[in-house]
Structure 1
């Protein structure tokens, strides 16, 4: 089962509503798609969106890393020696985690097809049904309250609320408005996207605790590199703190776990470089008794399908943030995971279960 061809092409799909965080605003989902073909005819797919403010990668840099560096060195290798293949993938180039993730997904797609299993079963098969939250973009207080009502009417009972863009008191007003609009039974998670300083985070979270806003967790309240600040926040509030941008690699995860700087870890394939390393992060987190969420960037259903398969396979992954395809005006894919409101059904087909990428979304 040798790697015979590695091809790339770009896709783009408009969002039906702009996605806004403390770091960026997105109106169109752009990605590089990787297609891997093996000498037995097996075909696998992967995806890498450019996320300049998080991974530091552009479409051009992802394309260059895949076409000029990764592909030439992997071609001819056998997936039946997959440990060698993945070791080579991660040794060839420093960083470039999204480029690696796109290749990694396609390789796992091929491997699980060869094994005759859906990928989630190949990886562990813990579950075949997930429930995603839905993201409330950072906006005016009134807009966020309206969005909250709309998402709840659409059947979502867990909301991930973006904050951290303006001053801290405005963020508190936003959360108060969201909680009032949501009522008491809806799960609310906050994501500050590194937008607060440690003392600001402690002030805001304590005020929300005192007000009875009942926040499930706060994700990445401080800068990614500031593990001391992250630990400070964790130790001075009762609300669980989740590390996101602080954890790209297994080394990062070990640092967070050893220093007890966070209560939870958010794994994203675009940060870890794909499933191969994500599995290691989930395992070491479990050894410390720390549960994981699996999230995503603004991706199409190609990358999300791979992330869902990984998340469904692991017992220690207990939370899921896979709403990105629901933000798109149209589905770019035939096959893959299927959405029914908040529910995500894993396909029974082998591999990722991808049938076809719709031609109208392909740019080249």
Structure 2
């Protein structure tokens, strides 16, 4: 089963409401869609969104990495030699993790189809249903309280609150407002997106602990490069701290784990370069007694389907941040995971279970 063709397509889907974090404001979900075709006619799908402020990748750089570097290395390769194939993908170019992830998930799609199994079964098959949180974007405390109340009314039990854009005292007011609106029965997790300094993070989290705001965890409170600062925060507060932007690769995960710099790790396929490397990160974390979340960038249901298949296959992945498709004004994906409010069910079809992507024009191909 050899790879005979790789096509890339650009797509853009508007969000129904702007998505605001400490790093950026997003109005549309842009992506490069990848289609891998094999000599037996089998096709696999992948997706790579350009998230310049996190991965450093644009639409053009993703396309260039796939078409000019990755494709020439793997075209004609036998998919059943997948260990060699994934090693090629990750060694042929530095960085470009989202481009690698899109090709990686398309290959996994084909491998699972060839085995006649849904991808989550091919990877381990631990569960077939997930519960996602829903993200509350950074706004005024009053607006965030209203948004949180609305999401709870829609049936969401876990809210991910974005903070870190302004001074921490305003963030505390935001959380107080959200908690007062939703009550104590709703799980709140915070994501500062690198927005605080070490001392600021410790002070803010301790104040929230003193106010008994019931925060489940705080994600990436300090800059990604500041592992010492991350450890200081982790050691200095009672609330669990999750590493996100600090962990792209298995090597970075190892550094965080060996120094006990975080209590939890957020794995994203767009950071790790796909499922192949994400499995390594999760396995190391599990050995160290550190649970993982799987999250995403602003992606369509295609990319989230691949992430959900991976997350569903592993016991150590206990938290799921897959709300991005619910933020889109339309759905261009036919097949894949199914949403019923906060619940996500995995398809029984082989591979990703994705049938078709709407609105794709003529793609760039390489044979």
TM-score by length of 1: 0.99
Q: Does 1:76 align with 2:76?
A: yes
Matched residue, 1:63: 63
Aligned partners of 2:96 and 2:129: how far apart in 1?
Answer: 31
Runs of 4+ off more than 4 Å: 361-364
Matched residue, 2:295: 295
Matched residue, 1:339: 339
Query: Per-residue deviation at 1:73?
Result: 1.2
Q: Deviations over 1:134-162 (max 9, x none)?
A: 00000011110000010000000000000
Q: How does 1:1-364 map to 2 (within 5 A)?
A: 1-359=1-359
Gaps of 5+ in 2: none
1:12–1:363 contact (8 Å) kept in structure 2: no
Q: Deviations over 1:151-202 (max 9, x none)?
A: 0000000000000000111111001001111100000000000000000000
Aligned partners of 2:27 and 2:326: how far apart in 1?
Answer: 13
Query: Per-residue deviation at 1:362?
Result: 5.1
Secondary structure of 2:34's match? strand
Aligned partners of 1:138 and 1:34: how far apart in 2?
Answer: 32
Gaps of 5+ in 1: none
Aligned partners of 2:19 and 2:294: how far apart in 1?
Answer: 19
1:118–1:353 contact (8 Å) kept in structure 2: yes
Aligned partners of 2:315 and 2:153: how far apart in 1?
Answer: 30
Aligned partners of 2:266 and 2:343: how far apart in 1?
Answer: 20
Aligned partners of 1:281 and 1:175: how far apart in 2?
Answer: 31
Secondary structure of 1:53's match? helix
Query: Per-residue deviation at 1:102?
Result: 0.2
Query: Per-residue deviation at 1:363?
Result: 8.2
Aligned partners of 1:57 and 1:117: how far apart in 2?
Answer: 32
Aligned partners of 1:234 and 1:73: how far apart in 2?
Answer: 42
Backbone CA RMSD of aligned residues = 0.8
